[in-house]
Amino acid sequence: MERSETYHHRRLDCGIEFAALEMPGRHTVALNVRVAAGMVDEHESKLGLGNIVEQTITKGTDSKSARDVSDAFDAIGAQFTGGVGRQSTVFRCSCLPEYLDRAGALIAEVLRTPTFPEDSFAVAVQLAQQELTAMEDDPQELASRLIARHAYGPRLGRHELGTKETLAAITRDDVVEYWKNHYGAARMQICVGGAIDVDAVAKAIDKQFQGFGNRSADAFENIPVEFSAGVRHQDKALEQEHILMCWPGVSATDPEHSVERVMLGILSGGMSSRLFTEVREKQGLVYWVGAWNEHPRGAGMMFAGASTTPARCDQTARTLLREIDRLAEDITHEELERSKIGITAKMQTHGDITRARVGELSGDIYHHGRPIGVEERKAEIEAVTIDDVRRYLATHPRDKLCVQTLGPRALEEFRA
Amino acid sequence: MTQSNGFHEHTLKNGLRIIVETMPHVRSAAAGFLVRTGARDETPELAGVSHFVEHMCFKGTAKRGWEQITRDFDDMGSTYNAYTSKERTVYFGWVRVEDLERQIELLADMMQSTMPTEEFDMEKNVILEEIAMSDDSLERKVYDLLHERLYPGHPLSWPVLGTTASITALSRDSLHGYFVDRYHPRNMVLIVTGAVEPKAVYDMAQRICGDWTPAEPRPARTTPTSALTGIHKGVVDRFQRQAVGVLYPAPSAADEDRDIGDLVASILGGRNSRFFWNIIQTGIAANVAAGRLDYCDAGLMLAFGFTEPDRADELLDAMRGQIKKLQDEGVTDDEVQRVRNRVATSLASEGEAPYYRFSQMIQEIDVFGVPRTVEERLAVLEKATPAVVREYLARWPLQGDGAVISLGPRDWPV
């Protein structure tokens, strides 16, 4: 049963950039709120502030206690989560269609009238301190934090938890000030999807957020990447050595973005991809190996990583790099087609999940300033040719590399 | 051909059962084989063999080498994987509906693996790396410690991955023997969910699996017993946090009390729960939860958290305090209603994607033979009241000190 899906996109009177995806027949609705408030907006002496704000904003409003807020979401069975990113904070909500209006009103209340109680704020700082300790037990997350600093530079490459010292320096006044400066209708994008009446939803949201915050132009800005090549190691007592490497890629809006996506599929799409085949299946060096990209607004970064026991880390790192560089030499037609089908088929299968579709729409509005739509994106992927991939690799050579290892020993004789 | 519980079911002559759930509103389908064997069905010498077999099923068949297997998955753009647990091994793929037959054929071919000798040693390296990776995870290590100490000597105590020693010692022939013994139609179920026609699926299964030869059912399992007392601890210096758990009796996966057990766990340690407000939001620990660990014939109620080592006492006391309060005073109407509302939304989300439905059905099919519909699962919660929870707590009391589990840098409790 194929029913037509329609995209909508407009600026609401209250200042919010609003997008909607009408999906008749769906049994849940999803709503994403993106606020132009990220880690880049923190003062360098108060790193971790954006996360503390996001954690504390739900802990009380002018008319509700912290528990009342949680109970109100539970009263309509709405799942509500938030997370701070490099350049924005995103709040996600899923619920049954009949509760969308109440969920929207509740989210508006939380974002507009937080009381940031002193005790909840103090607990949020304590918990962030504990999360920093927890990260020491999570080598993959720790290695990501280490490489991000060098991949993106000191501002864009921050970690949401900050440091023990910067967390200790944060006051409740900082929280209130950050919220006042960065939260507001003109600094927000809201995306909704499901079996919804778009005009009614837009009208409700417009009313709920009318008059919220100061209006400021260019709320979502691009921050330049400060890439720092090099091979770096941090010692840690672990069974396995974690290896991460990264190099600049293209932004989500670059004309070559789809080409890069197809190339990445050849490198690390499924189990038949090059990294899995060469590093795991043929040499048995690892259990985990992969490659992926990340897109800060206006930029792109390619990553590859693996973890292996220390005696095998040099061979693993060499193989990873060899496979990345070999892409320019011998891509086959079969690999190209396989990568493309891997992307387009998943658009259809994963497209059955409402919240996944809304997440994608939110990304489109954030990066492109418009909904892209499944058909357009699919056509872009299908149009990619071997020559496109070769041209991409020729014009975007992997000529600088940032490598981070974490574990019992550094790499020997590794040349980036 | 019968229809039960809104699901469609059929059994081939060789004993292979097929269960189909039709989801007309989607554009995809998920298919997979449930193989009814897992770590608890191994002998001590073969610890880890079920999981090793799972890896080897990707390594070659009479028709395909390992490269062809992975290429065939990727040529469909399938979202696929496999996993092994204490009680079962599952292989699945989630594809566009037009690729369903190709997906079933590929998975079925893997169930007829040749366990190729030439790939065995290489895969052993991969599994040893997986064990090393698991050893760096406090969460995985405490899960293994818990089973090792609470079910000593029982097969449930063996780690799913096996140990470095058992995997190093494992021979290809023993692996092959285990595979032949367990991978046959009477010990497997084919499960399909999505925009499919049941009859068409049965026909595909007949074409693809109709000539499989049945063998004897898996050897019977021995029911474990656990005293659920005492202190069970381990010290690993390199971790920064202490994992602290306390365990009480709980219904097994086959017990009709299981849903109420999950309700209690949710009120105690789920979202917006007693643990959240009284332990996390008082800053004692960032990560605390409660849940039921269940097997076909055994269950545990586990309250656990991760904290700074010097706050382990505080965490344990706080968890016990909340548990005692719940046992003594029961739960409120509001608390039950909140869980009900949350479950209604998550069931609606689950119903959107064939892969989610597939994953959810596995345990019920394994334990009861048939899954429950969303309506049936909601109906149990509709009937749940504070009085029902009180009766549950009389049958499955959260009383006394429970069994304590502790793992981390601190040798605690002393």
Q: Which residue has the tokens 């290489």?
A: B122
* Sign of the alpha-carbon dihedral angle for A93, A99, A101, A103: negative
User: A293-350 pLDDT, tens per residue?
Assistant: 999 999 999 999 999 999 999 999 999 999 999 998 999 999 999 999 999 999 999 9
Residue B315 confidence (pLDDT): 98
Calculate how close chain A gets to B351, using CA atoms only, in Å: 8
**Distance between CA atoms of B53 and B120, rounded to whole angstroms?**
10
Q: What digits encode the pLDDT tens for the residues A75-89?
A: 999 999 999 999 999
CA distance A275 to A38: 33
Instruction: Using alpha carbons, select from A374, A373, A367, A370 the residue that is nearest to residue A347.
Output: A374
Indicate yes or no: CB of A134 within 8 angstroms of CB of B306.
yes
Q: Count Cβ atoms below 10 Å from residue A301 Cβ, excluding itself.
A: 24
The answer to whether the Cβ–Cβ distance between A133 and B308 falls below 8 Å is: yes
Q: How many CB atoms lie within 10 A of CB A399?
A: 9
**Does A51 touch chain B if contact means CB atoms closer than 8 Å?**
no
- Residue A217: pLDDT band (50, 70, 90) is low
Q: Please indicate, yes or no, whether residues B130 and B256 belong to a single structural domain of this protein.
A: no
> Domain check: are A202 and A245 in the same one?
no
State the pLDDT at residue B37.
98
pLDDT band of residue A219 (cuts 50, 70, 90) is confident
- Taking chain B, what is the end-to-end CA distance rounded to the nearest angstrom? 61
Taking residues B294-314, what's their average pLDDT?
Answer: 97
- Interface contact A239-B24, CB threshold 8 A: no
Among B25, B28, B351, select the one facing A349 at the smallest CB separation: B28
Q: How many residues does chain A have?
A: 416
A161 and A235 fall within a common domain = no
Q: What percent of chain B has pLDDT over 70?
A: 99
Q: Among all chains, which residue has been given the structure tokens 């997440």?
A: A359
Residue B146 lies in a domain: yes
Which one-letter DSSP state was computed for residue B76?
Answer: T
A157 and A242 inside one domain = no
Q: Which of A175, A209, A243 is the C-terminal boundary of a domain?
A: A209
How far does Cα A329 stand from its chain's mean position?
31
The CATH number for A166's domain is 3.30.830.10
**Looking at the structure, do residues A262 and A395 belong to the same domain, yes or no?**
yes
In which band, very low, low, confident or very high, does the pLDDT at A263 lie, cut at 50, 70 and 90? very high
pLDDT at A350: 95
Whether residues A235 and A201 fall in one domain: no
Tokens found for residue A85: 């990113």
Q: Which of B174, B209, B244 is the last residue of a domain?
A: B209
pLDDT band at residue A214, thresholds of 50, 70 and 90? confident
Contact list, B240 vs chain A (CB under 8 Å): 133-134, 136-137
Mutation site for B-interface testing, chosen from A76, A141, A283, A349 by largest number of B Cβ within 10 Å = A349
Using the predicted structure, report yes or no on whether residue A356 has a pLDDT greater than 50.
Answer: yes
Per-residue DSSP letter, A48: T
Q: Which domain holds residue A279?
A: 230-407
Residues B30, B81 contacting (CB under 8 angstroms):
no
B143 within some domain? yes
Alpha helices in B210-353 (DSSP H): 258-269, 274-278, 312-329, 333-350
User: Which of A127, A271, A276 is opposite residue B286, by nearest beta carbon?
Assistant: A127
Query: Is residue A337 classed exposed, middle or buried when 0-12, 13-18 and 19+ CB atoms within 10 A define those classes?
Result: middle
pLDDT in tens, A93-138: 999 999 999 999 999 999 999 999 999 999 999 999 999 999 999 9
Instruction: Mark whether B198 and B258 lie in a shared domain.
Output: no
Confidence of residue B1 (pLDDT cuts 50, 70, 90): very low
Surface-to-core class of residue B237, CB atoms within 10 Å of its CB (0-12 exposed, 13-18 middle, 19+ buried): exposed
**DSSP 8-class letter at B217:** P
Q: B171 and B66, same structural domain?
A: yes
Q: What is the pLDDT of residue B2?
A: 40
Residue B355 has pLDDT above 80, yes or no: yes
Same domain, B182 and B313: no
B142, pLDDT greater than 60 = yes
Residue B3 has pLDDT above 90, yes or no: no
- Hey, which bits of A23-96 come out as E strands? 29-35, 79-84, 89-95
Report how many Cβ contacts below 8 Å link chain A to chain B. 187
Contact B48, B167 (CB under 8 A): yes
| A372 belongs to a structural domain | yes
Same domain, A65 and A187: yes
Cβ separation of A136 and B240 shorter than 8 Å?
yes
- pLDDT tens for B175-232 read 999 999 999 999 999 999 999 999 999 999 999 999 999 999 899 999 999 889 999 9
B359 and B273 inside one domain: yes
Looking only at Cα atoms, what is the longest distance across chain B? 63
Kindly state whether residue A221 falls inside one of the protein's structural domains. Answer: no
pLDDT of res. B227: 87
With tokens 């360098």, the residue in question is: A44
B224 in a structural domain: no
- Asked if B282 and B187 sit in the same domain, the reply is no
What is the residue range of B378's domain? Answer: 231-408
Of B26, B133, B285, the CB nearest to A287: B133
Residue B200 lies in a domain: yes
Whether A120 and chain B come into contact, CB under 8 Å, resolves to yes
Residues of B in contact with A309 (CB under 8 A): 128-129, 132
Which DSSP symbol is given to A60?
Answer: B
Pair B175, B310 in one domain: no
Instruction: Tally the C-alpha atoms within 13 A of residue A133's C-alpha that lie toward its C-beta.
Output: 21
Report the C-alpha gap between B41 and B220 in whole angstroms: 9
Spatial distance between the Cα atoms of B32 and B94, rounded to a whole number of angstroms: 9
- Which string of b and e fits B214-229 if b means at least 16 CB within 10 Å? ebeebeeeeebebebe
B174 beta partners: none
Quick check: A282 contacting B, CB < 8 Å? yes
User: What is the DSSP secondary-structure string of B91-143?
Assistant: EEEEEEGGGHHHHHHHHHHHTT----HHHHHHHHHHHHHHHHHHHT-HHHHHH
Q: Output the average pLDDT for chain A.
A: 96
CB contact residues (below 8 A), chain A span 159-218, against chain B: none
Based on the fold, state whether residues B402 and B270 are members of the same structural domain: yes
Both B303 and B256 in one domain: the answer is: yes
Q: What are phi and psi of A289, to 5 degrees?
A: -150, 145
Residue B330: HSE in the Cβ half-sphere, 13 Å Cα cutoff: 14
* In a shared domain, residues B265 and B197: no
Q: What residue type is assigned to position A181 of the chain? A: N
Residue A223 lies in a domain: no
Q: How many domains does chain A have?
A: 2
- Residue A206: both structure tokens together: 């417009």
- In percent, the amount of chain A with pLDDT more than 70 equals 98
Same domain, A329 and A204: no
Q: Give the per-residue pLDDT at A349.
A: 96
How many angstroms separate the Cα of A121 from the Cα of each of A59, A82, A130, A172, A213? 9, 16, 14, 7, 22
Nearest residue of A to residue B307, measured between CA atoms: A130
Whether residue B342 lies inside any domain: the answer is: yes
pLDDT in tens, B284-296: 999 999 999 999 9
The residue among B69, B50, B72 whose CA lies nearest residue B110 is B69
Amino acid A1: pLDDT: 40
Contact A287 B76 (CB under 8 A): no
Tell me: do A250 and A354 sit in the same domain: yes
Q: B56 — alpha (psi -120 to 50), left (phi > 0) or beta? A: alpha
Binned at pLDDT 50, 70 and 90, residue A218 comes out as low
Mean pLDDT, chain B, integer:
96
- Contact (Cβ atoms closer than 8 angstroms) between residue B39 and residue A236: no
Structural domains in chain B (count): 2
The model's pLDDT over B104-123, given as tens digits with 9 standing for 90+, comes to 999 999 999 999 999 999 99
Q: Is residue B414 part of a domain?
A: no
Chain A residue whose CA is closest to B24: A1
Interface confidence, given as ipTM, is 0.96
Q: A134 and A235 share a domain? A: no
Backbone angles phi, psi at A154, to 5 degrees: -65, -25
Of A298, A288, A187, A167, nearest in space to A239 by CA? A288
pTM: 0.97
Same domain as A132, residue A250:
no
Rg (CA), chain B: 22
Q: What is the DSSP letter of A408?
A: S
CB B32 within 8 A of CB B191: yes
B367, B31 contact by CB (below 8 A): no
Residue B26: is its pLDDT beyond 50?
A: yes
B138 contacts in A (CB within 8 Å)? Answer: 137
B336 and B367 both lie in a single domain: yes
B178 and B300 in a single domain? The answer is no
User: What is the tens place of the pLDDT at every residue in A377-404?
Assistant: 999 999 999 999 999 999 999 999 999 9
- Given a contact cutoff of 8 angstroms between Cβ atoms, the answer to whether B93 and B30 are in contact is yes
Q: B277 by DSSP, 3-state: which?
A: helix
Residues A68, A197, single domain; the answer is yes
Question: Would you give the distance in Å from CA B388 to the centre of its chain?
Answer: 27
Judged by phi (left if over 0) then psi (alpha if -120 to 50, else beta), residue A230 lies in left
Same domain for A200 and A298: no
CB B107 within 8 A of CB B95: no
Please report where in the chains the tokens 């954030």 appear, as a residue. Answer: A366
The answer to whether position A308 is within a domain reads yes
Stretch B254-260: mean pLDDT: 96
Give B248 to chain A, closest Cα distance, Å: 26
* Contact of A272 with B67, CB cutoff 8 Å: yes
Within a domain: B413: no
CATH of the domain at B338: 3.30.830.10
Length of chain B: 414
- The answer to whether the CB of A320 falls within 8 A of the CB of A306 is yes
Whether residue B216 lies inside any domain: the answer is no
